[in-house]
Structure 1
Amino acid sequence: MNQQHEHLATLQEIRNIMDRSSRFISLSGLAGVFAGIFALAGAAVVKWYLSTHNIKYRTAIASGLNTEVIIFLVSVALLVMVLAIAAAIYFTTRKARQQKQPVWDTKVQRLLLNLAIPLGVGGLFCAVLLYHGIIYLVAPAMLVFYGLALINGSKYTLSDIRYLGLCEIALGLVACFFIGYGLLSWTIGFGVLHILYGTIMYFKYERHLS
């Protein structure tokens, strides 16, 4: 019985080694938490801006927004993205060093490539929507393509992000039918879900490193 247990333990260790060699396991949960915080802050800024200009999102998004408002919304979204990427680089680099794992290797390159393809296509698709004035589908499209990127990248990192990706896609598809709630769905998808995911990942994989 003990010999069988030792064989199982050995097989599990071999599996872990193979998993570490093929996946980037240093993805930080704290990066997700801070990305969510930045998204909530961005949504709050957008809400404040719309309120000060007497713009009701639900009605304005259907009838169309002027160029000034669109530029402001895009600027906030880009700022949130830059801050989220900066947090991801910082916390993931810190975790990789704690685990004595390489920060930049072929695993990271494969992960970034598989994330970049759906995100790049999604960005271009959102630009096309803006060009044609289909503003109400931009937020849902961002959620759907982001979810696809997470699922695509989950093959090269922690498989847990696949579930976050599925939630983002489901939320984006629902938001396609309720166009007046695009800002709310964006806030939930990029804010609340990120914080929940990041917190779970932190306590699951990183708490012992602190």
Structure 2
Amino acid sequence: MDSKNYHEDLSHIRSMMERSSRFISLSGLSGVVAGIVALLGAGYAYFAMESKKVEYINGGRLSFTPALVQELVITGLVVLVVAVLSGYIFTANKSKKKGLKIWDATTKRLLATFAVPLAAGGIFCAALIYHQLIVWIAPTTLVFYGLGLISAERYTLPDVKYLGYCEVTLGLFSLFFLGWGLFFWAVGFGVLHIVYGLIMHKKYK
């Protein structure tokens, strides 16, 4: 009996330490929703470019008008906002069910660590837009996003780093196929998020 209580106490202590050092309320469903939204955004971007006669996929005419660039940027921002909001809603609900706080010191450390690569990537993308190097944006966003996930892994679920490695690898690979950047972007932010979200939902539900 004493041995059983001892192991239960150790298990309880480990659980408390994990909760205090890692943000473990991430919802897999938020990844699924983010992936679906990304695919919708990629589809909209493709047809927007097609309507302006930009042969992005075939590597033909890659001249982007200011109006088209603005439309694509707004599309990307809408995808980002919807993904973040859905992530917050699902994660908040999961935290509530587990009786955990969604905003604590660990969450702040997680966001701070994640924000550094994202901020650097955002500034880099702004420079690419300024110099009209639009075809480099898709690979850049994948690489910096992946680096952010890898950096943030120590404050959340360890599985996050594997998604990060996949994003970085995909982004680097897409650098050699710039005309297919939108396709790689859709795979990275769309398909990978959906697959990762389903796996995480099943593993940590």
Superposition TM-score, scaled by structure 2 size: 0.93
Q: Is the 8 A contact 2:37 2:82 kept in 1?
A: yes
Which residue is 1:107 aligned to?
106
Q: Is the 8 A contact 1:24 1:156 kept in 2?
A: yes
- Measure how far apart 1:145 and its partner are: 0.3
CA distance in 2, matches of 1:40, 1:63: 22
- Measure how far apart 1:155 and its partner are: 0.7
CA distance in 2, matches of 1:167, 1:3: 46
- Measure how far apart 1:130 and its partner are: 1.1
Secondary structure of 2:24's counterpart equals coil
Structure 2: which 5+ residue stretches go unaligned? none
| 1:23 to 2:56 alignment | no
CA distance in 1, matches of 2:185, 2:191: 9
Which residue is 1:118 aligned to?
117
* Cα shift readout 1:162-190 (whole Å, capped 9, x = no counterpart): 00000000000001111111000000000
The aligned amino acid for 1:197 is Y
Of 10-19 and 130-139, the range deviating more from structure 2? 10-19
Q: Evaluate the alpha carbon distance shift between residue 87 and residue 94 of structure 1 in structure 2; reply closer, same or farther with a 3 A threshold.
A: same
Root-mean-square deviation (Å): 1.9
Equivalent residues in 2 for 1:43-62 (5 A)? 43-58=42-57
Q: Is the 8 A contact 1:39 1:191 kept in 2?
A: yes
Which residue is 1:14 aligned to?
13
- Measure how far apart 1:15 and its partner are: 2.5
Q: Is the 8 A contact 2:29 2:197 kept in 1?
A: yes
| 1:87 to 2:86 alignment | yes
Structure 1: which 5+ residue stretches go unaligned? none
Q: Evaluate the alpha carbon distance shift between residue 61 and residue 152 of structure 1 in structure 2; reply closer, same or farther with a 3 A threshold.
A: farther
Q: Is the 8 A contact 2:54 2:62 kept in 1?
A: no
Superposition TM-score, scaled by structure 1 size: 0.90
Equivalent residues in 2 for 1:188-199 (5 A)? 188-199=187-198
CA distance in 2, matches of 1:145, 1:61: 27
CA distance in 2, matches of 1:72, 1:116: 25
Equivalent residues in 2 for 1:39-188 (5 A)? 39-58=38-57, 63-188=62-187
CA distance in 1, matches of 2:162, 2:42: 23
* Percent of aligned positions that are identical: 45
Q: Evaluate the alpha carbon distance shift between residue 62 and residue 31 of structure 1 in structure 2; reply closer, same or farther with a 3 A threshold.
A: same
CA distance in 2, matches of 1:153, 1:176: 24
Q: Evaluate the alpha carbon distance shift between residue 61 and residue 89 of structure 1 in structure 2; reply closer, same or farther with a 3 A threshold.
A: farther
* Cα shift readout 1:4-40 (whole Å, capped 9, x = no counterpart): 8876665444333211111011011111110001001
Q: Is the 8 A contact 1:154 1:162 kept in 2?
A: yes
Secondary structure of 1:58's counterpart equals coil
- Measure how far apart 1:42 and its partner are: 0.5
Q: Evaluate the alpha carbon distance shift between residue 132 and residue 51 of structure 1 in structure 2; reply closer, same or farther with a 3 A threshold.
A: closer
CA distance in 2, matches of 1:53, 1:64: 10
* Cα shift readout 1:128-185 (whole Å, capped 9, x = no counterpart): 1111122111110000000011111111011111000000000000011111110000
Q: Evaluate the alpha carbon distance shift between residue 44 and residue 58 of structure 1 in structure 2; reply closer, same or farther with a 3 A threshold.
A: closer
CA distance in 1, matches of 2:89, 2:132: 37
Count of aligned residue pairs for this structure pair = 205
